[in-house]
Structure formats: C-alpha cells, structure tokens
C-alpha cells in the first residue's frame, strides 16, 4: 500500500536523523503548537518530513502546525510522541500516524518506536509489527504481562494508590501513542487527563480488539477482563 510505504519512508528518515545525533538547535523551543505544547526544533523537523512524504494522500492534522492542505482523507500525526523523553535521552519516544476516511473511521494506523526502531502497522484486515532496519513483520499477538502502563500517573495519586491496593504493578514511560501500541503486551493502559486526537487516533485503533473504555478524559484498556472491570468501576467513581 502506497500510504504505508510513504509512512515507513518518513519514519526511516526521522530515525536516521535522530540516530545521527541531535544538534544543539534541535533542543531549541518555539511557540506553542496546535496540540498545546511548546514545539522543539526536532518536533518541527519531524513534522516537515511527514508533510513531505504524506501531503499527497490528504489533509494533514498535525500536533505542531495544525491543519495542512486539503483532501477527503485526513492524516492525523504526532511527529514526535514523547519529545521530552527524546530531549532527555530517555529511550521511549516515537511517531504516530492515522489515515482517517470521510466517515472519521481509521483505515490505517502506524506507530513507530524511534528509540529501538520497532514499528506497528494496523489496517482493518491486518495488525503486524517489525523493525525499520529489516522491514520484516510478524503478526501482533496478545501476551501475558506482569506490568501495566499508566501515563500521567504523577498527577493522579488516588489512582496510583488503588493500583497499589490491587497489587498491580505499572510503569509511566511518558509517550501515550507508544503505550497504546504496546497494549497487547501489557496488563493494562491507563490515561487520565486531556485527550488529544494526535496522541490517540492510531493507538486506540490498534487496541480495539482488547477490553477498552474511552471517555473525554479517560482511557482504560486491558487484555484481562477482571482487571478491566475492577479498574473501570473504580475509575468511574473517582
């Protein structure tokens, strides 16, 4: 599929840029982007790479610059998911791309972990993962896990206490799109806060086979029905 090929090429270019070593200018910050966060130079350069490769496929909605171009199809992108991690040399950051049709249905989701080159690709018929350096793919399968992922746990102490009482271990790595891509490999994914389309469009599409609850300010996903039911009951009463 030409769109997927173009997304892979964009990710390869960004991956090569980052692994060639960031320059001092990449750490400079500018104004607040469309997503509400300050944009760094690396955010902007990654966005420019995606625009170059994807603009012919439809209208782009990006976290940094906002709406770009026209077209019946929409391409929702987060050029660097977890850019604070990248700029702090913490290896958990990536990109997120969703191709959305006229009915606001996701046709393709692609999330790439730029720290290790792992890339997830989902269509309505297929869900696979591989690595940018080989482009060899295998189906994504659900695996038993010992930990969950709780994004923004630092601002949700009450939920942290509940997880401790349930003896549910978790990590809070700081890149929501990536955490959603890994939902089939962890016990659960929780996010409580402002939900932005740039962060979740592709990731929610990738986790639709799991138990999930999505509201205006809450994402709960789990492969384990008992864990899902217990957490959902608590989170809705919080």
Q: Which domains does the chain have, with CATH numbers?
A: 2-137 (3.30.540.10), 148-237 (3.40.190.80)
Task: Provide the H-helix boundaries in 64-192.
Answer: 83-87, 157-165, 176-181
Task: Provide the H-helix boundaries in 59-175.
Answer: 83-87, 157-165
* Residues 6 or more apart in contact with residue 114 via CB below 8 angstroms: 11, 14, 15, 18, 80, 86, 93, 94, 95
In this predicted model, what pLDDT tens digit does every residue of 52-92 receive, in sequence order? 999 999 999 997 678 988 888 999 999 999 999 999 999 99
Q: Report the share of the chain in percent with pLDDT over 90.
A: 80
Cα 201 from chain centroid?
Answer: 8
In this predicted model, what pLDDT tens digit does every residue of 135-155 receive, in sequence order? 999 999 998 899 999 999 999
Angle at 119 between CA 97 and CA 67, to 5 degrees: 10
User: pLDDT: is 72 or 221 the higher one?
Assistant: 221
Instruction: Round to whole Å and give the CA distance between 188 and 82.
Output: 19
Q: What is the mean pLDDT of residues 198-209?
A: 94
Instruction: Round to whole Å and give the CA distance between 220 and 217.
Output: 10
Taking the CA atoms of residue 152, residue 153, residue 154 and residue 155 in that order, the dihedral angle to the nearest 10 degrees is 70
In this predicted model, what pLDDT tens digit does every residue of 156-183 receive, in sequence order? 999 999 999 999 999 999 999 999 999 9
The predicted pLDDT at position 63 comes to 73
- Angle in degrees, 0-180, between the axes of helices 41-54 and 2-19, rounded to the nearest 10: 150
């Amino acid at each position: 599929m030409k769109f997927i090929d173009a997304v892979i090429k964009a990710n390869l270019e960004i991956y090569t840029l980052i692994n060639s070593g960031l320059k001092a200018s990449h750490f400079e910050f500018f104004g607040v982007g469309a997503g509400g966060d300050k944009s760094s130079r690396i955010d902007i350069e990654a966005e420019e790479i995606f625009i170059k490769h994807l603009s012919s496929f439809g209208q782009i909605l990006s976290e940094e610059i906002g709406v770009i171009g026209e077209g019946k199809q929409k391409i929702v992108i987060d050029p660097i998911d977890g850019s604070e991690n990248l700029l702090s040399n913490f290896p958990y950051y990536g990109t997120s791309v969703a191709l959305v049709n006229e009915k606001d249905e996701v046709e393709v989701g692609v999330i790439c972990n730029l720290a290790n080159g792992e890339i997830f690709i989902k269509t309505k018929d297929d869900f696979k993962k591989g690595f940018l350096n080989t482009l060899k793919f295998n189906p994504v399968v659900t695996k038993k896990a010992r930990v969950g992922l709780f994004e923004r746990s630092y601002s949700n102490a009450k939920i942290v206490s509940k997880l401790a009482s349930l003896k549910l271990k978790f990590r809070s790595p700081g890149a929501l799109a990536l955490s959603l891509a890994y939902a089939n490999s962890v016990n659960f994914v929780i996010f409580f806060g402002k939900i932005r389309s740039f962060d979740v469009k592709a990731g929610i599409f990738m986790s639709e086979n799991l138990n999930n609850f999505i509201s205006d300010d809450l994402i709960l996903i789990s492969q384990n029905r008992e864990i899902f039911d217990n957490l959902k009951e608590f989170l809705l009463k919080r």
